[in-house]
Each structure stands twice: as structure tokens, then as C-alpha cells.
Chain A
Amino acid sequence: MNNEDIRIEEILRHYKLSSAPISLKDRIFQTKKSQWNKTWLVAASIVVVVGLGLTWRISLNPPSSEINDPKLVCTIIRTGKAAQLLALADFWANQPEGKNHAQQIYIEVANSFSDLNAGKQAQLRLKSF
């Protein structure tokens, strides 16, 4: 170390490094808080958006109770009709004078609705006549 070194060191020792600004603490801990706030905000937004979407969908497009498949509609109608006829035939079959009438209806059901359960039931009833 020569004199110039010592002189510079002496001069430098009259100084200190600047301190941390007070605002830094706020900045750090505020950042953390605002990150949490941001997370909550995002979560709340998602809930609101999903909620609004569901409300909109339910109010403007209520789930339909109509059946739109023609094949299915036809099957339902035929099944109903066959069940009604079968019930009618069963009714006449229990009447003292209604056996013949019942037999005709069973034949009608067995021929027209052979693909349905009612048609098969009618065939079984005919066999027992």
C-alpha cells in the first residue's frame, strides 16, 4: 500500500453506501398481498363467469322435455296402443260372454305388434285359449 492507496481509503471511509429506501418493504410485502388478491380475484371471476354462463343457459335454453326422434316417438305410441289393446282383451277375456271378442283382440295385438312385448303376451294368451 502506498500513500495514494491510503489516501483513497481514507477518503472512501468518510462515505457509506446508501440505505434501502423505506418504500422497498411496502413494495415487497405489498407485492405478496397483491399476488394473493390477484389469485382471489381470478378465482372469483371464474366463479362469476361460470355462474353467469349457467344462468344464461338455463334461462334462455331450458333443457327440452320434448322427444325429437320420430322412431322413438312411434315406438312409444305403438307400445302404448298395444298395452291398451292387451288390457282391453284381458278385460273381455274375464267376461262370461266376451271370450270371442277377447280372442279377436289378442289376434289383432299378436299380428300388429309382434315385435313388442304386448304382442308376445297376446300370443301366449291365445295358446291358452
Chain B
Amino acid sequence: MDISSEVERVYDEYADDLYKYALMILADHGAAEDAVQQVFVKMMKMRNNILQIESFGSYLKMAVRNECYEIIKKHNRFKKWLTKMSNGPIIESLDKENTNEEERELLQRAIKELPTEQREVLCMKIFENKTFSEIGEIIGVPMNTIASRYRYAMDKLKQIIFSNNVNEL
């Protein structure tokens, strides 16, 4: 079997979800691209061992998550993270023709300001429609902790959004 074309097939199937997942954690396009790229490059280096992977979906999600936290760790070490978190929109309106750019901008800023772990939970709950228990299983954290993180995330979002522009939302 040609490993490269197998990895390419896996990429076509999972890359978009993985990229969005990386974006949830990192809130930065460049860093999300790096994380996904690293995971697939490592996968290609595994060669025939990739045939032993039972579920690509959960394996890759975990790999991307680990990669994201590695990137955060590195950036924290060199204190570059805040300056890097600035490029491109991380959320897009579902109704592209009637986008309220100001609203999108405000929500994006609020999401970016959340601590990583809270943003990860919030995005999985809202954008992937996952339950607390499903999120807990994916990231290996008890459901109650997930619920708390979500609670804190919502409180912070409210603070940021309503203190800025409550009437326009």
C-alpha cells in the first residue's frame, strides 16, 4: 500500500475538522496550520505503523490537541503568543451574505480572550454540538470539570460582550 496516498486520503477526510479543532485551542490560523501540518508529517514518518491505528478520527484529534498544547508551551516560553494571536478571522458567519462584521469582530475578540481550556470546551459545545460528556471523553477530563469550564467561559464572554456593545447584539 502506498503510505503517502493513504495519508492523503486520511487528510481529505479529517483535515478540516482537525484544523477547526486546532483553531479552537490556538485561536490563530498560522499556529493551527502548523499543528495540523506537524501531525500529518509525523504520520507520514510512521510509514506502515499507521495501518495499526484503529480510529483515525480520535487518534488524530488527540495528536492535534497534543501538538497545540506543545505550541502553546513553546510560545509561552518565548512570550510571543499574544503578539502572534492576530491574524485572520477565526469565525465566519453561516449566513455570509448578511454578515454583521462588527458583531463577528466582537465575538471573535471575546473568544480569543478566553483561556485556552475554556475556549476549547466552549467551541466544542457550540460549534461541534458536543455534550459535556462527549467533550470529557475526547479530552480526558471529568464531565463536571468540562461543565465548569463552560460556565466560566460563558461568564467571561458575557462580561466582554455586554460590557462592550450589548445593545447592538
Min Cβ gap B13→A in Å is: 12
B19–A32 touching, CB < 8 Å: no
User: For chain A, what secondary structure do more than half of its interface residues adopt (helix, strand, loop), or is it mixed?
Assistant: helix
SS class, residues of chain B in contact with chain A: helix
Cα(A15)–Cα(B99), bound, Å: 10
When A and B form their complex, what is the total count of cross-chain residue pairs whose Cβ atoms lie within 8 Å? 83
Contact-residue bracket for chain A: 20 to 34
Given A4-B158, A8-B157, A25-B11, do A18 and B126 touch, yes or no (CB 8 Å)? Answer: no
Q: How large is the interface on B (under 10, 10 to 19, 20 to 34, 35 or more residues)?
A: 35 or more
| A27: B residues at CB distance < 8 A | 33, 37
Shortest Cβ gap from A36 to chain B (Å)? 10
Given contacts A17-B24, A19-B19, contact A11 B169 (CB under 8 A): yes
If A15-B92, A17-B91, A28-B41 touch, whether A4 touches B19 (CB-CB below 8 Å) is: no
- Whether the pair B41, A15 counts as a contact (CB closer than 8 A) is no
Q: From residue A40, how far is it (CB to closest CB) to chain B in Å?
A: 16
Give the complex CA separation of A16 and B90 in angstroms. 9
Enumerate chain A residues within 8 angstroms of B93, measured Cβ to Cβ. 14-15
Say yes or no: B8 contacts A29, CB within 8 Å.
yes
Cα-based distance from A25 to B19 in the complex (angstroms): 11
Q: Do residues B94 and A24 form an inter-chain contact, with CB atoms below 8 A?
A: no
Q: How far is the CB of A71 from chain B (nearest CB, A)?
A: 61
Residues of A within 8 A of B161 (CB): 8
- Kindly list the 3 A-B residue pairs having the minimum CB-CB distance in the complex, ordered from nearest: A20-B19, A17-B20, A15-B91
Sample (28) of A-B pairs whose CB atoms are under 8 Å apart: A4-B158, A5-B158, A7-B169, A11-B107, A12-B107, A12-B126, A15-B92, A15-B93, A15-B127, A16-B92, A16-B94, A17-B20, A17-B24, A17-B123, A18-B20, A18-B23, A18-B88, A18-B91, A20-B16, A20-B18, A20-B19, A20-B20, A20-B36, A21-B33, A24-B15, A24-B36, A27-B33, A28-B37
